[in-house]
């Protein structure tokens, strides 16, 4: 189910809030927990009920292994065996559904073989809930998990606001919240704050990300005909689409969590304000960065085993990050290049920190933007052609059709009532393109992250929430999935 859908906003969310808090109000706390699990499973299996068999099976197996790992009286060798077996099953399941065809297909091409492909549908959110459960297994082995019940563990995994596209949460920050009695009852301030943040995220997705998405889809469909200026516009459009799409989802997740009195961790900290690639990864997809740091980078030795080992560990982490994002050489190359630039960023840091900030920002943003092209491309060949077009510098014309993507029906409405705006748009060739990009960058540079907002219920904020919500709902058209659903 999509956050940006009528069934979620008008049916699923109200029913979930009413059912959960009514059951808790009458002291049926276990029933309320089961109800929330059931609604989360409905949310997850809405498009394909077959996904439920996979996720429920994964939960049962991982919980069983965690119980074995929590038995400290067992010999360490035996507990280590259970950990390895659990990790093999998790990674094996992820590999089978997400990477098997890519791996076998690459072998077929390289060695001219004809091994059979499975053509399995990728279960939604499998990368997210697999990593989440891996962290739980490792923490169980380390003795950091408590005696959680199966219902608590299941709710930790399937809690619908973060189930499909994150953030990747940890048991220590979620299960204790499910146990706190004061969170079982409706909190009007949290409800208002949640609606406010949800409306911001919905606006980001529907009005901003989806508008840039139309430009991106057209551009990557016609790579061979792109001019240099068109390629730049398309690449920056994807950079902005990805940000507003993913951060919009996370805002909506945090908003729904607030409505249910659950605090989800932040996943973004103004990443496009970054002044280096290292700084970018401290701000972008923070929950994934945290997982890779705590469960891959540190176990490899982190930065404690010398300079070259630090660079090697960094490259391993970014290789895993690239592979995690998708079964395509584009993601692997994207991850490796981010690793390379991260190592360079670390190496030149003493000198780089003395460079004028606007230059540091521009270089960082340009690198991130160019690498997003590889991330978005269908193949390395398409990415190479696109980058050649973008850096070719041979044609700085831009087809008039691009302006139409940014001329929303709201602008047409305003032109009909404000003649001077119509005259201005006729005289300024790219008026709405400039307005849209300026508006997007204005939010990125000057807007507060959802976790930075110090919410105070006011009449003005209530009206603003209603306007954003109604505007976004009226702008819903068709099914527009979130980009990270594919990862």
Which range is least confidently modeled, 142-156, 231-245, 403-417? 403-417
In the chain, the N- to C-terminal Cα span, in Å, equals: 16
- Give the pLDDT band (50/70/90) at residue 479: low
Q: What is the pLDDT of residues 115-167, one digit of tens each?
A: 889 888 888 889 999 999 999 999 999 999 988 999 999 999 999 999 988 79
CB 164 within 8 A of CB 128: yes
Instruction: Provide the greatest CA pair distance for the chain.
Output: 80
Q: What is the per-residue DSSP string for 99-127? A: IHHHHHHHHHHHHT--PPP--PPPPTTHH
d(CA 191, CA 285): 25
CB under 8 Å to 322, separation ≥6 — which residues?
A: 331, 332, 333, 334, 335, 336, 338
- Give the pLDDT band (50/70/90) at residue 236: very high
d(CA 3, CA 266): 18
The backbone torsions φ and ψ at residue 25, rounded to the nearest 5 degrees and listed phi first, read -60, -35
- pLDDT at residue 111 in the model: 87
**305: its two tokens:** 């085993």
Q: Is 325 a catalytic residue?
A: yes
- pLDDT at residue 403 in the model: 80
| Nearest C-alpha neighbor of 131 from the set 155, 165, 100, 104 | 165
Of the residues 171, 285, 325, 338, only one is catalytic, namely 325
pTM for the whole structure: 0.92
Residue 282 sits at the vertex; the CA angle it makes with 162 and 245, to the nearest 5 degrees, is: 45
CA distances from 368 to 148, 281, 379 (A): 41, 11, 18
Q: What is the pLDDT of residues 11-40, one digit of tens each?
A: 999 999 999 999 999 999 999 999 999 999
Residue 335 sits at the vertex; the CA angle it makes with 329 and 339, to the nearest 5 degrees, is: 140
Q: What is the pLDDT of residues 298-349, one digit of tens each?
A: 999 988 888 999 999 999 999 999 999 989 999 999 999 999 999 999 999 9
């Amino acid at each position: 189910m999509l956050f940006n859908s009528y069934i979620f906003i008008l049916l699923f969310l109200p029913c979930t809030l009413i059912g959960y808090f009514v059951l808790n109000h009458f002291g049926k706390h276990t029933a309320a927990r089961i109800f929330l699990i059931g609604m989360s499973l409905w949310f997850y299996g809405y498009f394909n009920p077959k996904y439920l068999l996979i996720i429920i099976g994964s939960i049962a197996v991982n919980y069983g292994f965690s119980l074995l790992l929590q038995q400290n009286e067992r010999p360490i060798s035996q507990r280590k065996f259970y950990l390895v077996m659990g990790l093999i099953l998790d990674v094996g399941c992820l590999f089978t559904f997400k990477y098997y065809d890519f791996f076998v297909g690459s072998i077929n091409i390289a060695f001219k073989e004809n091994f059979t492909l499975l053509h399995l549908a990728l279960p939604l959110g499998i990368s997210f809930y697999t990593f989440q459960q891996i962290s739980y297994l490792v923490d169980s082995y380390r003795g950091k998990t408590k005696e959680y019940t199966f219902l608590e563990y299941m709710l930790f995994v399937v809690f619908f606001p973060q189930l499909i596209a994150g953030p990747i949460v940890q048991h220590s920050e979620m299960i204790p919240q499910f146990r706190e009695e004061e969170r079982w009852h409706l909190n009007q301030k949290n409800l208002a704050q949640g609606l406010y943040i949800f409306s911001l995220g919905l606006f980001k997705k529907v009005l901003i990300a989806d508008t840039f998405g139309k430009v991106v889809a057209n551009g990557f469909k016609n790579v061979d005909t792109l001019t240099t200026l068109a390629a730049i516009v398309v690449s920056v459009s994807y950079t902005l689409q990805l940000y507003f799409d993913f951060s919009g989802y996370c805002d909506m997740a945090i908003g729904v969590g607030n409505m249910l009195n659950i605090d989800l961790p932040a996943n973004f900290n103004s990443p496009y304000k970054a002044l280096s690639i290292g700084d970018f990864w401290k701000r972008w997809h923070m929950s994934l960065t945290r997982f890779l740091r705590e469960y891959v980078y540190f176990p490899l030795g982190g930065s404690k085993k010398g300079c070259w080992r630090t660079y090697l560990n960094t490259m391993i982490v970014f290789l895993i990050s690239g592979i995690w994002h998708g079964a395509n050489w584009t993601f692997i190359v994207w991850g490796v290049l981010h690793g390379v630039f991260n190592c360079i960023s670390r190496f030149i840091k003493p000198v780089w920190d003395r460079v004028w900030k606007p230059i540091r920002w521009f270089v960082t943003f340009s690198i991130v933007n160019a690498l997003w092209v590889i991330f978005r491309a269908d193949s390395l060949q398409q990415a190479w052609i696109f980058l050649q077009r973008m850096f070719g510098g041979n044609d700085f014309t831009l087809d008039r059709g691009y302006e139409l993507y940014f001329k929303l029906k709201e602008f047409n409405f305003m032109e009909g009532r404000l003649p001077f705006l119509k005259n201005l748009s006729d005289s300024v060739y790219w008026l709405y393109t400039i307005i849209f990009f300026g508006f997007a960058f204005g939010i990125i540079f000057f807007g507060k992250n959802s976790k930075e907002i110090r919410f105070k219920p006011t009449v003005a904020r209530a009206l603003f929430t209603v306007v954003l919500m109604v505007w976004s709902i009226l702008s819903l058209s068709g099914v527009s999935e979130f980009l990270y659903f594919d990862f």
